Amino acid sequence: MNRAALRVSLLFPLLLLPSLGRAGSDQEHGGEETPHSPGKGHSHWSYEDLKHWSTDYLDCGGTKQSPINVDTAQAIFSPDLRPIQISGYSLPASEQLKLKNNGHTVVLELPDSLALTGGYAQQYRAAQLHLHWGSPSGPGSEHTINGHRFAAEIHVVHYNTKYDSFTEAMVHPDGLAVLGAFLEVGHGENQYYHEILKHLFEIQEVGQETSVPGFNIAGLLPANLKFYFHYNGSLTTPPCYQTVKWTIFNQTMLLSHHQMSVLVSTLRSPDDEILQNNYRPVQNLHGRRVLASFQATPPVKHTPGSGAPATAEGHSSSFHAGDVLAVLFGVLFAVTALAFLLYIYKHRSQNARLDSPTKSKVIYTAASTENTA
Ligand SMILES: [Zn+2]
């Protein structure tokens, strides 16, 4: 390879990579879509009947559905994602919150004084939080990380303050923001989850509700709100509106074994069975990008004797591995084309030298310089 070709191969990534980075973020944040009109389905749906969701609710068959599997090696590091900031989450015990078994999950209604004040481009107010879980024999988080399903998952649902209510916001593309965190079994009782779990036996039957004294709702979320994944998706239950900007925290919450048992075996479902496995399977990404607020370390892949994958891995924290490969192939093509042109040029100048000795001397000198490398 000659020196000019080397110079081009060094320049091309510098020219191309920033534009690729912009293309990625445009796709993530731009392109507002009008949500499909809600299907006129029955209000009854179940996790046993997943196949019919999209018949009764058109959006459930859309291309921006949730939950998803997060492949950390494919997640795009985005330094623009600032730590999530919450305010008003610490509620006095004098404030009574409604806790309800709605037949699909346990819902804790939240006052709209709770707000998201950082990490999102717009302002959001809290509406409610709820949980998804498995059974005594299996995990039940909705989102998965590299194919791993966690024991359970909490969703804190917020709506954009530019809309008057959750109901109005939920049909708009920028309407909702949901914070999600994974729950796992660890040592010791979680005092914050205890504030909810100790009331579950009061709402075992579908439709039952009770009052819960206010507590620090922030305790239900990870202490570290800096590390998270972000993507555009949907409600994970009918009507599946594709209006949710999702935040999935990297840090998991720990509950005692007993607490997890209470969660997965206390509430009853509309079929009068134990309400279990209330999670939706992961949905196709359909080209969506998942952003990471941190350098998500991909699982180490050993590719002996090959330099190229190592280069791609070096960029995979900030760029899609596919983009990097595309650039590498583009550069390879450009270098080959340039080398070919130089080869033609050199041969033409050698021929030209026969016709014009003075002119050819200059050209020959230049060409030889280019070929010393
Ligand atoms: Zn949910």
Domain boundaries, the chain: 3-17+318-370, 31-292
pLDDT of residue 44: 85
pLDDT of residue 11: 36
pLDDT of residue 26: 30
Q: Where are the alpha helices (DSSP H) in 74-190?
A: 166-169
Ligand 1 center to residue 130 CA distance, Å?
A: 6
Compute φ and ψ for 292, nearest 5 degrees. -125, 140
Reply yes or no on whether 104 is catalytic: yes
Work out whether the CA dihedral 199, 202, 205, 211 comes out positive or negative.
Answer: negative
Residue 232 is given by DSSP the state: E
Ligand 1 center to residue 34 CA distance, Å?
A: 22
Tens of pLDDT, residue by residue, the chain (373 residues): 444 443 434 333 333 333 333 333 333 333 333 333 333 434 589 999 999 999 999 999 999 999 999 999 999 999 999 999 999 999 999 999 999 999 999 999 999 999 999 999 999 999 999 999 999 999 999 999 999 999 999 999 999 999 999 999 999 999 999 999 999 999 999 999 999 999 999 999 999 999 999 999 999 999 999 999 999 999 999 999 999 999 999 999 999 999 999 999 999 999 999 999 999 999 999 999 999 999 966 555 554 443 333 333 333 333 344 554 555 555 566 666 666 666 666 665 554 444 444 333 333 333 333 333 3
CA–CA dist 305, 246 (Å, integer): 40
Ligand 1 center to residue 162 CA distance, Å?
A: 23
Q: What is the value of pTM for the model shown?
A: 0.70
Ligand 1 center to residue 236 CA distance, Å?
A: 6
Ligand 1 center to residue 286 CA distance, Å?
A: 21
CA–CA dist 116, 122 (Å, integer): 9
Superfamily of domain 31-292 in CATH is Alpha carbonic anhydrase (3.10.200.10)
Is the bond leading into 239 cis (omega within 30 degrees of zero)? Answer: yes
pLDDT of residue 337: 67
pLDDT of residue 59: 98
Ligand 1 center to residue 26 CA distance, Å?
A: 27
CA–CA dist 211, 109 (Å, integer): 10
Active-site pick, 29, 42, 52, 104? 104
pLDDT of residue 270: 95
Long-range Cβ contact pairs of 204-208 (< 8 A, separation 24 or more): 204/101, 204/266, 204/267, 204/268, 205/101, 205/268, 206/101, 206/102, 206/103, 206/268, 206/269, 206/270, 207/100, 207/101, 207/102, 207/103, 208/100, 208/101
